[in-house]
Structure 1
Amino acid sequence: MKNILKVLCAALSFIQLGACQDNNDVVVTKVDKAFLKTHAIGKEVQLIDVRTPQEYGVGHIDDAKNINVGSPDFVQQIQGLDKEEPVYLYCKMGGRSNKAAQLLKKQGFTKIYDYTGGYNDWIK
């Protein structure tokens, strides 16, 4: 009887540890133009341009939604995205999209793709 109780306690401990796991094991996948064209362009995906509205207005990838990572309400705005679906991020050259990817990771997103070349690479 004591052994069964020990086994049950151990099992519950492992279950609790799994439930408390953070997103440290979530990997932000760095992608290039070819990957983005194959997996996101022309498809119904969450493609997010994290640049300023002014930059977005000058030019952006078709069907991208603008959510400025520099905006004070960025975290609130990303709550409208589906955490279970992939999110593709880009900025001008890759710095801001990396910052945005880390913020999404902290908010529980698990399928995060960061287009490292950014819009500058896209228009080449």
Structure 2
Amino acid sequence: MKFHYLLVTLLVINLGCVQSNGKHITEFSQNDIESGILMDVRTPEEFSEGHLDNAVNIDWFEADFIKNVDTIDRARPVYVYCKMGGRSAKAAYVLDSLGFDKVVNLEGGYDAFIANKSN
């Protein structure tokens, strides 16, 4: 367990040194995930208040985050989002470092998605 905390901490520290593959959430469509996975890294409470269709909720703040993402097929594209984009950027970096083939951070987060939807 301590190893997981250390790994996440080291990965977050190095986050600024790596460019991640990103796409603004308003440019995302359900067609993008035909063969991929949509991952919401917000808390279960946030998730229950609303989320994108077909999203899987894996809480970034959960101590077992790395163990929980280990159940996901690394060969499938993973599209990650959160409330505003901070947690998903960190999670995308972790997923990339764990060997997932394609990880896309949906920038702007759920708030930007909802704001765009209401326009």
TM-score scaled by structure 2?
Answer: 0.75
Contiguous gaps of at least 5 residues in structure 1: 1-25
Across the two proteins, how many residue pairs are aligned to each other? 98
1:123 match: secondary structure: helix
Matched position secondary structure for 1:104: helix
Runs of at least 4 residues off by over 2 Å? 38-41
**In the alignment, is residue 79 of structure 1 matched against residue 85 of structure 2?**
no
| Offset at residue 118 of structure 1 (A) | 0.3
1:31 and 2:23 aligned: yes
2:57 match: 66
| Rg (Cα) greater in structure | 1
d(CA) in 1 for partners of 2:38, 2:30: 13
CA-to-aligned-CA distance 1:18-42 (integer Å, 9 cap, x gap): xxxxxxxx9631101343116426x
1:83-114 C-alpha deviation (Å, 9 max, x unpaired): 11110000000000011011112211130100
Q: For structure 1, which segment, 51-60 or 31-40, has the greater mean C-alpha deviation from structure 2 after superposition?
A: 31-40
TM-score normalised by length of structure 1: 0.72
Alpha carbon RMSD of aligned pairs, Å?
1.8
Of the three residues 106, 120, 123, the one matched with 2:111 is: 120
The percent of aligned pairs where both chains have the same amino acid is: 41
Secondary structure, counterpart of 1:98 in structure 2: helix
